[in-house]
Structure 1
């Protein structure tokens, strides 16, 4: 594991400590969610991606900024919360809720769009002694599959195809009918 990955893991531990003591729910998403599902660091990561409820974002930002995290001036806070912890990039995509309380996209042009059923109900992932809430494997697979369709300008990268293969290998086959 390289030094950036160690610093990213330290930032994940810090987020879990801060949000745990403040009772702010968060869920790891993206490549790190996959790694926590698999139980090890599988590849280098550019950043650390999370979900948080839109209503918790301001309080979360206040808590992390008080710990010397700094905002990413390139990203509008209306879309998501983007921060730096040293040289580690961290983003918190916002979650909303529909009338039935199900999670939706919480901001931006896709606000209100339903997110995969059960996405927030996955068991926590673990790397070493660190246990972290993550989005479900089914949601991780759906997002990796659909990004090139939802955003045609974003072609599937080789790492996305590798991630899909790793995730699919952990899903039991459907029962034979």
Structure 2
């Protein structure tokens, strides 16, 4: 990692630690996902990150908003998808909190646009993963690979970005050790 990206990464790691501790004290289940989840699972910082992505149960969203505001974070509902997520800001850092709920079949889903895409079994574990001394619950590597590979196939998805393609290669190596493509969701 270049010197230019080390300071923002350290700042973001400190925020991950702060948010994890805050949510632990509030007894709110939470999981890191997105690019930082990939890095935690790999055990190394692979690239600079533009944000931090967290998953929480939707029923806990208001308590999390209040706790973040008490710490001085600016909190805003997502203007396009308020039933799916909210955003928190501190300084020049952005943290998204995406909601989870159970559907009628008992599957864990993200409501709204993603309600037809259940999270894979085994995605959520209470175990914490540690990266550079910072511990946090993290979604499974299998779930991250499923999300990254299948995002372009979902009606609400988007094309893969360069860092998504790089993450897919790294996650395949981590999971398979051979670079073989894992089975897709859609």
Q: Which moved more, 1:77-86 or 1:144-153?
A: 144-153
Helix, strand or coil at the partner of 1:170: helix
Is 1:51 matched with 2:55? yes
TM-score, normalised with respect to structure 2: 0.84
State the match for 2:94 in structure 1. 89
Tell me, in whole angstroms, the C-alpha distance in 2 between the residues paired with 1:16 and 1:160. 25
TM-fit CA distance, 1:172 = 3.6
Deviations 1:107-150 (A, max 9, x none): 32333642211110374321122111010111000000011111
- 2:152 corresponding residue in structure 1: 148
Please point out which of 77, 85, 91 is paired with 1:80: 85
1:159 to 142, 159, 163: 163
Q: Which string of whole-angstrom CA distances, capped at 9 and with x for unpartnered residues, describes residues 16-49 of structure 1?
A: 1101111101000000001011112110111000
Q: Are 2:128 and 2:137, in contact at CA under 8 Å, matched by a contact in 1? A: yes
Give 5+ residue unaligned stretches, structure 2: 179-186
Structure 1: unaligned runs, 5 residues or longer = none
Q: Report the Cα offset of residue 52 of structure 1.
A: 0.2
Runs of 4+ in structure 1 displaced over 4 angstroms?
A: none
Aligned residues: 173
Using the size of structure 1 for normalisation, the TM-score is: 0.88
